[in-house]
Amino acid sequence: METQHTPGVFERFNQWITESIMVKLFSIGFLILILLIPTSWIEDLIRERQSRSDEVIREVSDKWSGRQMLSGPVLRIPFTKMEKTKTWYEGKQVEEIIETNHYAYFLPEEYRVKNDITTEVRKRGIFEVVVYKSGITMNAQFSVPDFSGWNIPDQHVHWKEAVLLNGISDLRGIGENPLVKAGEQTLRSEPLSDIGITVNQYPQANTTQATDASVNLNTTSGIITALGWLAQPETIMNVNLQLSLKGSESLYFVPTGKSTEVSTTSAWPAPSFEGKLLPEYTISDSGFTAVWKVLSFNRPFSQKWIDRDQSLAGSEFGVRLLIPADQYQKSTRTAKYGQLIILLAFTALFLVEITTKTRIHPFQYILIGAALIIYYTLLLSFSEQVGYNAAYAIASISTILLVTLYSTSFLKSKPVILLFSLLMASFYTFIFIIIQAQDFSLLIGSIGLFLIIGLLMYFSRNINWYGARKE
């Protein structure tokens, strides 16, 4: 007569560990926490590649010419100020006159700029940088300088030393000698590292790149043009400047005129208009045109000032010509959903395991999780070569095929395998829609997650979590 074997304590404990749903849930949760570590490494890798891209842009810009901003023209006239003071000398109060030298700055009444930008794409390895050459024509009209508001008599104004200042942020970009005309007279210009104009350089709008937008320059380089006046001019002065300028990334202007109009054209099809003021523009595959119209009411500085009491910061505007490199931004946003993809995939596997009574080993969960993480390195590497959208398709299809083929080793039912692969495809499609619909990503994401939770509730409604599955 056969005796029935009674399981021992360790056997019963081992059986409980093997079959307990709660233990399985805790083990899956622990595996998800472990897999969060390499997902953070993926985000670091994306930031490193983006930093390398920015570094290449800076290297090419340093050898060609950097970002350009034009802040001018500004009329500068020196004068001497006489101040009477009383001092004590040998017990007597005497009157003394102190002379101090100052500069007066005047901005034009009207300022018109026409600017034609020719772009060129340069490569450094797998990275591309756009540089440009710009033909700029400036026309400015100055009224007769008036010192009466400062109580400066005409004889104290040094008219012979009057100069015209044009701020240019990177003088290496000047390709030809600037041609400056005052009326019919052609004037000679010289470079100057300190033209005495304070400008907050390079206002940025949205950029995921390293930016020095908040750097406040105390001085601005540029060109100085002696006007050769012998006395105070009697009529308005018309100034014309022809400038050939090289640069990279962006070109900005400061609206120095009481009435300013800047017109820019280029064959570059993907501009980004930035700064404090936006233009009227048209964009097509053949290029763009943009026109900024600015009045003195639209800017935070006045028409004239003394010495360095005023900054021209606060109303800069311009166009950015960077090659769209949104693969890093989109890859970063996609990587942030890595934990969600792992959670959804493991949840789907767990439900399959419970409903079909299939045993899936924790090591098999780990391999599937590793495939879901390697997906992001595929996405990043391919996006640098073929763009984000194509890279997303390649990485998603490759990962879904890999996981599906591997699942055939422990899922014996073809309909279940097909269902699991469709679930994986729907997860990646869901994330792609969120990434593309940036303005509605929160709305789409919230609705999608709500539907997923609803489906999980539906498919798990017949599971008896405390025993065998209900018949």
Looking at residue 393, what is its pLDDT? 92
Q: Residue 200 pLDDT > 60, yes or no?
A: no
175-189, 358-372, 452-466: least confidently modelled range:
452-466
pLDDT digits (tens, 9 = 90+) for 362-383: 788 888 888 888 888 898 888 8
CB 67 within 8 A of CB 249: yes
- Find the distance separating the first CA and the last CA of the chain, reported in whole Å: 35
> Could you tell me the pLDDT band of residue 463, with boundaries at 50, 70 and 90?
low
pLDDT digits (tens, 9 = 90+) for 223-282: 999 998 888 888 888 999 999 999 988 899 999 999 999 999 999 988 989 888 889 999
d(CA 459, CA 333): 30
d(CA 374, CA 371): 5
Whole-Å CA distances, 457 to 14, 315, 347, 419, 435: 30, 55, 12, 17, 26
Q: Residue 39 pLDDT > 60, yes or no?
A: yes
d(CA 209, CA 368): 34
Q: Name which of 192, 188, 170 is nearest 179 in CA terms.
A: 188
DSSP string, 93-161: EEEEEEEEEEEEEE--SEEEEEEEEEEEEEEETTEEEEEEEEEEEEEEEEPPP--GGGT--GGGB-GGG
CA-CA-CA-CA dihedral for 330, 335, 336, 342, to nearest 10: 140
Compute the average pLDDT of residues 178-187. 88
Report the b/e string of 410-422 with b at 16+ CB within 10 A.
ebeeeeebeebbe
| Alpha-helix residue ranges (DSSP H) falling in 322-387 | 326-335, 338-356, 362-386
Cα 280 vs. chain centroid, distance in angstroms? 22
d(CA 248, CA 175): 14
Looking at residue 470, what is its pLDDT? 44
d(CA 50, CA 56): 10
Whole-Å CA distances, 44 to 25, 47, 377: 30, 5, 11
Q: Name which of 321, 319, 324 is nearest 278 in CA terms.
A: 319
d(CA 190, CA 124): 34
d(CA 82, CA 330): 63
Looking at residue 205, what is its pLDDT? 39
Give the chain's mean pLDDT. 80
Contact residues for 234 (Cβ-Cβ < 8 A; gap 6+): 144
Element (H, E) at 225: strand 222-226
Question: Is residue 33 classed exposed, middle or buried when 0-12, 13-18 and 19+ CB atoms within 10 A define those classes?
Answer: exposed
Q: Which two tokens stand for residue 294?
A: 């600015």
Looking at residue 10, what is its pLDDT? 52
Q: What angle do CA 185, 191, 194 make, to 5 degrees?
A: 120
Q: Which two tokens stand for residue 447?
A: 């609705």
Looking at residue 464, what is its pLDDT? 67
Task: Give the side-chain half-sphere CA count within 13 A for 368.
Answer: 32
More confident residue, 146 or 354: 146
Q: Residue 7 pLDDT > 70, yes or no?
A: no
pTM (two decimals)? 0.70
Q: Name which of 32, 71, 61, 56 is nearest 254 in CA terms.
A: 71
Express as a percent the part of the chain with pLDDT over 90: 23
pLDDT digits (tens, 9 = 90+) for 107-153: 999 999 999 999 988 877 777 788 899 999 999 999 999 888 888 88
Q: Name which of 442, 426, 425 is nearest 434 in CA terms.
A: 442
Looking at residue 46, what is its pLDDT? 78
Q: Any idea how long the chain is?
A: 471
pLDDT digits (tens, 9 = 90+) for 292-301: 999 988 888 8
CB 208 within 8 A of CB 324: no
Name the one residue in this structure whose structure tokens are 């405390």.
466
Peptide bond preceding 73 in cis form (omega within 30 of 0): yes
Q: Name which of 159, 316, 332, 327 is nearest 231 in CA terms.
A: 159
Cα 169 vs. chain centroid, distance in angstroms? 20
Looking at residue 469, what is its pLDDT? 43
Helix/strand/coil for 56? helix
More confident residue, 437 or 419: 419
Compute the average pLDDT of residues 158-173. 90
Looking at residue 25, what is its pLDDT? 65
> Could you tell me the pLDDT band of residue 197, with boundaries at 50, 70 and 90?
low
Q: Name which of 92, 144, 138, 141 is nearest 115 in CA terms.
A: 138
Q: What angle do CA 306, 308, 203 make, to 5 degrees?
A: 125
> Could you tell me the pLDDT band of residue 324, with boundaries at 50, 70 and 90?
low
More confident residue, 206 or 35: 35
Looking at residue 110, what is its pLDDT? 95
DSSP string, 325-343: -HHHHHHHHHHTTHHHHHH
